[in-house]
Amino acid sequence: MSIIKLKNPAYIFESASAVGCEEHKGPLGDKFDFHDEKDKFGAKTWEMAEGELGRTALALALSKAKLRPDDIDVLFAGDLQNQCVASSGGLYSFKIPYVGLYGACSTLGEGLMSASLALSASEDLRRVAAVTTSHNCAAERQFRLPIEYGGQRPPSAQWTATAGGAFLLGRDGYAKIERVMPGTIIDGGIADANNMGAAMAPAAADTIVKYFRESGEHPDDFDAIITGDLAKEGSYLLETILEKNNIVLKNHYDCGMMIYDYKKQDVHSGGSGCGCSASVFSAHFLPLLRSGEFKRVLLIPTGALMSTGSIQQGNNILGIAPLVCVEGVK
């Protein structure tokens, strides 16, 4: 069995999102809790700006819940920067016991899963948090340097979102997490860093096929099946692979296709990054679960496991897609 049923369910009771300028211009722009027109979040460097973005998201979530940092017992966090320094550098000032995660753009799934497992594992924990971020300029400098070289972006390339989300989980809340499923790493044979969607789609398909086979459920049992950042290219591939497995998704949403108007904004195939699914899930999907409009969703953030070094050494980009089943309590 790949699906893990928790002995004690966890509940999301609050969340917050923060984004940059381009994300605020997108179709969900007004839904985000905070945006910075300059993408700097008051910091000196793009890398530190990502840390500030995460700090802002967590501070906002705590403020909305009228809680202080020491009301949170453990913080699960991760990002795309080398050695995840955006998360550690941005969040250490809260002094919340910290568990660092790395699942590339799938880190939101890992974070909600790890947070829920921890709550189920021990009654000592009252509340925990999960935070993930990404920043376009920090990612460009790290993964696409030298930017001055002016490499052309093909249509399959994605735009790393300047975005982040913070999620507070505890013993009560409006959205229940009782079933989670870690992803299995899949090598889809893709070595092109400008085609992450194709590298991640087989992993998302693997997770979805396993979930429905093991659970006996049907895609129509859910209001939304939400992938993280497959974007246009990857979403098409996912739906194609699933159809070959006799699974037709009528209610598939991809956060990478939702965060930008990819026909008008110059983002090629769509958005990506740890913060893409985190900000869209917090700003768009959780309110639908809170209001009762949605009853059940499957959240399947997708990650491309690679580094500039692994690409230069000719390795394939490995995909992973953890799953979290989130159910409205109303």
The residue range among 18-26, 59-67, 226-234, 300-308 that interacts with a second copy, by the rule CB under 8 A, is 300-308
**Which tokens hold the place of 299?**
């959240």
**Residue among 43 and 237 whose Cβ is closer to a second copy:** 43
Coil vs helix vs strand at 213? helix
**Residue among 26 and 111 whose Cβ is closer to a second copy:** 111
**Which tokens hold the place of 298?**
């499957």
**Residue among 8 and 245 whose Cβ is closer to a second copy:** 8
When binding is defined by CB under 8 A, the residue of 21, 64, 71, 100 that contacts a second copy is 100
- Provide, rounded to whole angstroms, the least separation between the CB of residue 287 and a second copy: 28
When binding is defined by CB under 8 A, the residue of 123, 148, 172, 266 that contacts a second copy is 123
**Residue among 114 and 279 whose Cβ is closer to a second copy:** 114
State how far the Cα of 305 lies from the Cα of 322, in Å rounded to an integer: 13
- Provide, rounded to whole angstroms, the least separation between the CB of residue 14 and a second copy: 21
State how far the Cα of 258 lies from the Cα of 231, in Å rounded to an integer: 9
The answer to whether the beta carbons of residues 161 and 276 sit under 8 Å apart is: yes
The answer to whether the beta carbons of residues 168 and 14 sit under 8 Å apart is: yes
* Binding residue count for a second copy, defined by CB under 8 A: 67
Task: Using alpha carbons, select from 283, 269, 303 the residue that is nearest to residue 108.
Answer: 303
Indicate the DSSP class of residue 92: G
**Residue among 183 and 256 whose Cβ is closer to a second copy:** 183
Binding of a second copy by 88 (CB under 8 A): yes
**Residue among 61 and 181 whose Cβ is closer to a second copy:** 181
Quickly list DSSP for 138-157: HHHHHHS--GGG-PPPPTT-
Task: Using alpha carbons, select from 13, 33, 35 the residue that is nearest to residue 25.
Answer: 35
- Provide, rounded to whole angstroms, the least separation between the CB of residue 261 and a second copy: 30
State how far the Cα of 40 lies from the Cα of 138, in Å rounded to an integer: 11
Instruction: Show Cβ contacts of residue 176 under 8 Å, excluding neighbours closer than 6 positions.
Output: 9, 10, 11, 326, 327, 328, 329
Instruction: Show Cβ contacts of residue 12 under 8 Å, excluding neighbours closer than 6 positions.
Output: 112, 167, 168, 169, 173, 174, 175, 177, 286, 326
**Residue among 195 and 235 whose Cβ is closer to a second copy:** 195
Binding of a second copy by 81 (CB under 8 A): yes
Neighbours of 145 (CB within 10 A): 10
- Provide, rounded to whole angstroms, the least separation between the CB of residue 122 and a second copy: 5
The answer to whether the beta carbons of residues 55 and 34 sit under 8 Å apart is: no
Q: For residue 114, what is the enclosing H or E element?
A: helix 107-121
Q: Are strands 224-227 and 296-300 parallel, antiparallel or unpaired?
A: parallel
- Provide, rounded to whole angstroms, the least separation between the CB of residue 124 and a second copy: 5
When binding is defined by CB under 8 A, the residue of 21, 67, 85, 209 that contacts a second copy is 85
Site residues for a second copy, 145-204, by CB under 8 A, read 181-187
Site mask for a second copy (CB under 8 A), range 34-73, x = bound: ----------xx-xx------------------------x
When binding is defined by CB under 8 A, the residue of 225, 318, 324, 325 that contacts a second copy is 318
- Provide, rounded to whole angstroms, the least separation between the CB of residue 276 and a second copy: 17
Binding of a second copy by 229 (CB under 8 A): no
When binding is defined by CB under 8 A, the residue of 4, 21, 209, 329 that contacts a second copy is 4
Report the interface residues with a second copy, using CB under 8 A. 1-8, 44-45, 47-48, 73-74, 78, 80-85, 88-89, 91-92, 95-104, 110, 113-114, 116-125, 142, 181-187, 305-310, 313, 315, 318, 320, 322
